[in-house]
Amino acid sequence: MQHQHGGDVEGYLRRFGREPLDFSANISPLGLPEGVRRAAAEALGRADEYPDPQCRRLREAIAGKTGLRPGQLVCGCGAADLIYRLALARRPARALVTAPGFFEYEAALGTVGCETAFFELRAQENFELTGRFLQAITPGLGLVFLCQPNNPTGRAIPRPLLLEILEACRAAGAVLVLDECFVPFLDDPAAGSLQDRLEAYPNLVLLRAFTKLYAMPGLRLGYAATADAALARDLIAAGQPWAVSGPAQAAGIAALREDDYVKKARALVRAERAFLLEGLRAAGAAELGGEANYLFFRSPDPALCEKLLPRGILLRDCANYRGLGPGYCRAAVRTHPENVRFLAAVQEILGNREI
């Protein structure tokens, strides 16, 4: 069995026989944009052809949207695909990740026999990445993985510290892999990204995915950006040639045109995040944090996630994250009616008065 992530709707269906309200998968609450749906459906008409293994039109569209160059981009079957390709392409002897952090960094490194060092994020520091991390960046590290903001804790790394980490990685001879899949949901995405440092730091790799912002996890599409041409070639060689399907490529190109959708999604997340934060705090949750489209918290009832299931709600139980334990949860930010229903169920379970 693989490590359990959020979004296991099929597992819920098999257990309860009905569709859940899924707060365990942190994707855009607006759902798949209609223009993206149409593009993917139309692409099925060419399913009797191989998709472009170089993703040329898609890379050109990403470049046109981001200001990057097509040659700096490697597309894959979601960001997770590219995480595994990075491990295979670099085959580091040692690597550094945070604990807690996205499990697939550790899992990918394990496939190549890498010795993984874990930097502990402390509850007494609100699970924030601090300057202590700089001391962990030592010569001999091949890869350093960071998520901006961190998954599941939702804490963003301040830009000054990010720049110090980037420079420390260069000095140590390490490649910094910055997972920016949630950056578009930050209040200031430009400040949270290191895209403006890509040219000056060939040891920097950025990861982005269409999954979260455009609510298309089922289509599997992401990309890596690097100024290191040799590393880009190695990433391509580390994957199968047709990793990105024709419908996924078409969907990605269409998604990049969805400017109004993105504005609406960001505004909705900002407003509803504050609503959820207030409601969870009133219900007795502690150690709350979240600067993207999800909230991290500790429930006074460690069985909250399990007790929500019969009520039709999936919540991400974070007990299986390294460095966490029972009671830690992650909730996606969804639409207002859905958030109201979620908070009502949480209040009922925790025995708090109605908000």
pLDDT-derived band at 324 (thresholds 50, 70, 90) equals very high
Q: Which residue has the tokens 């160059």?
A: 69
pLDDT confidence of residue 1: 40
Assign residue 173 the CATH number of its domain: 3.40.640.10
Handedness of CA 161, 163, 164, 169 (dihedral sign): positive
For 94-110, what is the mean pLDDT? Answer: 97
**95 pLDDT higher than 90:** yes
For 115-141, what is the mean pLDDT? Answer: 97
CB 68 within 8 A of CB 265: no
Assign residue 328 the CATH number of its domain: 3.90.1150.10
Per-residue pLDDT of 59-72, as tens digits, reads 999 999 999 999 99
38 located within any domain: yes
DSSP state letters, 60-112: HHHHHHHS--GGGEEEESSHHHHHHHHHHHH--SEEEEEES--HHHHHHHHTT
**Structural domains in the chain (count):** 2
205 located within any domain: yes
CB 330 within 8 A of CB 22: no
Q: In percent, how much of the chain has pLDDT > 70? A: 98
Per-residue pLDDT of 239-259, as tens digits, reads 999 999 999 999 999 999 999
HSE-up (13 A, CA, CB side) for residue 160: 2
pLDDT confidence of residue 355: 40
285 located within any domain: yes
pLDDT-derived band at 3 (thresholds 50, 70, 90) equals low
Q: Can you give the residue range of the structural domain that contains 212?
A: 34-255
**2 pLDDT higher than 80:** no
pLDDT-derived band at 287 (thresholds 50, 70, 90) equals confident
305 located within any domain: yes
Q: Which residue has the tokens 């040891």?
A: 203
216 located within any domain: yes
pTM: 0.95
The reply to whether 241 and 337 lie within a common domain is no
CA distance 167 to 352: 48
54 located within any domain: yes
pLDDT confidence of residue 239: 96
Per-residue pLDDT of 288-301, as tens digits, reads 889 999 999 999 99
**Which of 234, 255, 276 corresponds to the end of one domain?**
255
The reply to whether 341 and 203 lie within a common domain is no
The reply to whether 185 and 263 lie within a common domain is no
CB 147 within 8 A of CB 102: yes
The reply to whether 250 and 306 lie within a common domain is no
pLDDT confidence of residue 269: 98
For 112-120, what is the mean pLDDT? Answer: 98
For 262-277, what is the mean pLDDT? Answer: 98
**120 pLDDT higher than 80:** yes
CA distance 213 to 332: 13
For 150-160, what is the mean pLDDT? Answer: 97
The reply to whether 96 and 199 lie within a common domain is yes
The reply to whether 65 and 97 lie within a common domain is yes
**352 pLDDT higher than 70:** no
The reply to whether 66 and 203 lie within a common domain is yes
The reply to whether 212 and 326 lie within a common domain is no
Per-residue pLDDT of 210-235, as tens digits, reads 999 999 999 999 999 999 999 999 99
4 located within any domain: no
CA distance 128 to 123: 8
The reply to whether 40 and 125 lie within a common domain is yes
3 located within any domain: no
Q: Which amino acid is at 312?
A: G
**Which of 220, 239, 255 corresponds to the end of one domain?**
255
Q: In percent, how much of the chain has pLDDT > 90? A: 96
The reply to whether 117 and 236 lie within a common domain is yes
The reply to whether 53 and 201 lie within a common domain is yes
**353 pLDDT higher than 60:** no
pLDDT confidence of residue 354: 44
The reply to whether 198 and 312 lie within a common domain is no
pLDDT confidence of residue 237: 97
Q: Across all residues in the chain, what is the average pLDDT? A: 96
**Which of 255, 271, 306 corresponds to the end of one domain?**
255
Per-residue pLDDT of 158-180, as tens digits, reads 999 999 999 999 999 999 999 99
